[in-house]
């Protein structure tokens, strides 16, 4: 993941030692880890399009998006490690955790499927990450705010890219319409997990550190429904909302993703270029 100095996200002097702040630091670490896991896992899925995209420009585009996600993930995992205070760096967190220790939303880890499904997922994620990072840019935690203030600009491009493809495919041929609708139907139920609140987000929202997941939902829905209308796609109707990613209960395919992500580091600890 890295050969260079880690990125410090909060300047030089992070004041962690003050007793009452320890619990907040632990909460913030867990929250940063969620955001970082989301970004890293989505980035890994996007990387699977390397050399297999429908055209070379798209190949470059998807890897650029993956690189943005990886950049945010590196900062967030570094931050989580610093706040945790147990001496783990971004590489330890990325390469040496097993499935139950990962806290990404299930939507990020779903297999990419065809190009239509990849773009449908990207639309659902980018339409969420944009208001999420916009809100977090003013987080009470300087580290989170720094990453978010950077990422919000990049995710604006991701949303724009996903929007243009979903519209092109949805309002394209019968076949492209059929496939992007099928992809959307497959990933849609998993989006609900993004807006779940739990004890951790409640505590951090109260302190101004986290964005209120539930408040992001109307904005997300408006963006997505606007795109789907233009794309002549149906908004999926379902009451089935799988969940569990935040507490470490992942889908079968996630194990294979982690095996590929972690294999080199685990087989050859400390390997570098």
Partner 1 sequence: MTTVEQVREVLSHVTDPEIPVITIADLGILRDVQVQGEHVVVTITPTYSGCPAMDEIRADITSALAGRGLRDVEVRTVLSPAWTTDWMTEAGREDLRAYGIAPPERRVTGPVPLVLGRRPSCPQCGSGDTDELTRFAATSCTSLWRCLSCREPFSRFKAH
Q: Which is nearer to partner 1, 12 or 237 (CB)?
A: 12
**Which one among 28, 44, 69, 103 touches partner 1, defined by CB under 8 A?**
69
Which residue stretch of 60-68, 83-91, 101-109, 182-190 sits at the interface with partner 1 (rule: CB under 8 A)?
60-68
Rounded to a whole number of angstroms, the minimum distance from the CB of residue 60 to partner 1 is: 5
Per CB under 8 A, does 74 bind partner 1? yes
Q: Which stretch binds partner 1 (CB under 8 A): 71-79, 107-115, 202-210, 218-226?
A: 71-79
Which residue among 31, 36, 40, 75 contacts partner 1 (CB under 8 A)? 75
Nearer Cβ to partner 1, position 127 or 145? Answer: 145
Considering only residues 92 to 131 of the shown chain, the ones binding partner 1 according to CB under 8 A are: 130
Among 1, 8, 111, 236, binds partner 1 (CB under 8 A): 8
Closer Cβ to partner 1, 76 or 106, answer by number: 76
Binding of residue 4 to partner 1 (CB under 8 A): yes
Residue 9 interacting with partner 1 (CB under 8 A): yes
Q: Which of positions 162-191 make contact with partner 1 (CB under 8 A)?
A: none
DSSP the chain: --SSPPPPSS-S-----STTHHHHHHHHHHHHHHHHHHHHHHHHHHHTTTTTSSSHHHHHHHHHHHHHHHHHHHHHHHHHHHHHTSS--HHHHHHS--GGG----HHHHS---SHHHHHHHHHHHHHHHHHHHHHHTT-SSHHHHHHHHHHHHHHHHHHHHHHHHHHHHHTS-HHHHHHHHHHHHHHGGGGGGGG---HHHHHHHHTTSS--HHHHHHHHHHHHHHHHHHTTPPPP--------GGGT---HHHHHHHHHHHHHHHHSTT---
By CB under 8 A, tell whether 146 contacts partner 1. Answer: yes
How far apart CA 105 and CA 250 sit, in angstroms, is: 9
Comparison of 25 and 152: residue with beta carbon closer to partner 1 = 152
| Positions in the binding site for partner 1 (CB under 8 A) | 2-5, 7-9, 11-12, 57, 60-61, 63-65, 67-72, 74-75, 130, 134, 137, 142, 145-147, 149-154, 156-157, 160-161
């Amino acid at each position: 993941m890295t050969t260079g100095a880690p990125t410090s996200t909060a300047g030089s002097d992070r004041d962690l030692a003050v007793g009452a702040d320890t619990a907040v630091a632990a909460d913030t670490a867990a929250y940063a880890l969620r955001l970082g896991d989301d970004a890293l896992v989505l980035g890994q899925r996007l990387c699977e399009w390397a050399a297999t995209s429908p055209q070379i420009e798209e190949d470059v585009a998807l890897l650029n998006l993956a690189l943005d996600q990886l950049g945010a993930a590196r900062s967030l995992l570094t931050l989580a490690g610093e706040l945790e205070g147990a001496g783990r760096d971004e590489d330890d967190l990325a390469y040496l955790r097993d499935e139950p220790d990962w806290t990404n939303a299930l939507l990020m880890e779903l297999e990419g499927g065809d190009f239509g499904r990849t773009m449908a997922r990207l639309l659902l994620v980018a339409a969420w990450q944009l208001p999420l990072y916009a809100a977090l840019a003013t987080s009470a935690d300087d580290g989170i705010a720094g990453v978010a203030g950077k990422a919000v600009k990049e995710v604006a491009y991701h949303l724009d890219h996903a929007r243009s493809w979903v519209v092109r495919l949805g309002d394209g041929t019968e076949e492209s319409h059929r496939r992007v609708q099928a992809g959307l139907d497959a990933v849609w139920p998993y989006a609900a997990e993004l807006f779940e609140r739990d004890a951790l987000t409640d505590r951090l929202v109260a302190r101004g550190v986290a964005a209120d997941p539930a408040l992001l939902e109307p904005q997300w829905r408006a963006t997505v429904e606007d795109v789907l209308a233009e794309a002549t796609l149906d908004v999926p109707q379902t009451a089935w909302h799988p969940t569990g990613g935040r507490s470490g209960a992942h889908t079968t395919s996630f194990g294979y993703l982690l095996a590929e992500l972690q294999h080199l580091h685990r087989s050859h600890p400390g390997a570098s270029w």
